[in-house]
Amino acid sequence: VDRDGDGTIDQYGLWADLWDMELIWASLIWQNEGEILDPEYTKTLLAEEGAMGAWQFIYDMIFDYGMMPTPSVAEQFGDPFESGNAAMTTAGHWVVPFYANTDFAWDVAPLPKGKTQASIVNSVGFVISKDSPHPEEAWAFLKHLVGAAGQEKVTSLGLGVPSLEAVANSDAYLKQETAPINHQLFLDTMSYANVKPCFRGYDEWATLIGDGMFSVWLGEAELDATLNDLIPQADAVLAEAAE
> Residue 121: beta bridge partners?
195
**Which of 22-26, 85-89, 124-128, 196-200 shows the lowest mean pLDDT across its residues?**
124-128
- pLDDT tens, position by position, 55-81: 999 999 999 999 999 999 999 999 999
Map the chain to HEC letters: CCCCCCCCCCCECCECCCCCCCCCHHHHHHHCCCCCECCCCCCECCCCHHHHHHHHHHHHHHHCCCCCCCHHHHHHCCCCCCCCCECCECCCHHHHHHHCCCCCCCCCCCCCCCCCCCEEECCCCCCCCCCCCCHHHHHHHHHHHHCHHHHHHHHHCCCCCCCCHHHHCCHHHHCCCCCCCCCHHHHHHHHHEEECCCCCCHHHHHHHHHHHHHHHHCCCCCHHHHHHHHHHHHHHHHHHHHC
Tell me what the mean pLDDT of segment 113-118 comes to. Answer: 97
pLDDT of residue 99: 98
Inform me whether the pLDDT recorded for 47 exceeds 90: yes
pLDDT of residue 125: 86
Tell me what the mean pLDDT of segment 99-124 comes to. Answer: 96
pLDDT of residue 42: 97
* CA separation for the pair 53, 224 (Å, rounded): 11
Phi, psi of 68 (to 5 degrees): -125, 140
pLDDT of residue 19: 97
Inform me whether the pLDDT recorded for 188 exceeds 90: yes
pLDDT of residue 75: 96
pLDDT of residue 146: 94
Tell me what the mean pLDDT of segment 180-199 comes to. Answer: 97
> Closest by alpha carbon to 37, among 23, 24, 21, 53?
21
Residues 15 and 80: beta-carbon distance below 8 Å: yes
pLDDT of residue 124: 85
**What average pLDDT does the structure give for the chain?**
97
* CA separation for the pair 10, 69 (Å, rounded): 10
Question: pLDDT tier at 103 (50, 70, 90 boundaries)?
Answer: very high
Q: What sign does the CA torsion over 150, 156, 159, 163 have?
A: positive
Q: Kindly list the structural domains of the chain, giving each domain's residue range(s) and its CATH number in brackets, ordered by start.
A: 1-121+196-243 (3.40.190.10), 123-180 (no CATH)
Question: pLDDT tier at 88 (50, 70, 90 boundaries)?
Answer: very high
* CA separation for the pair 35, 125 (Å, rounded): 25
Inform me whether the pLDDT recorded for 226 exceeds 90: yes
Tell me what the mean pLDDT of segment 205-217 comes to. Answer: 99
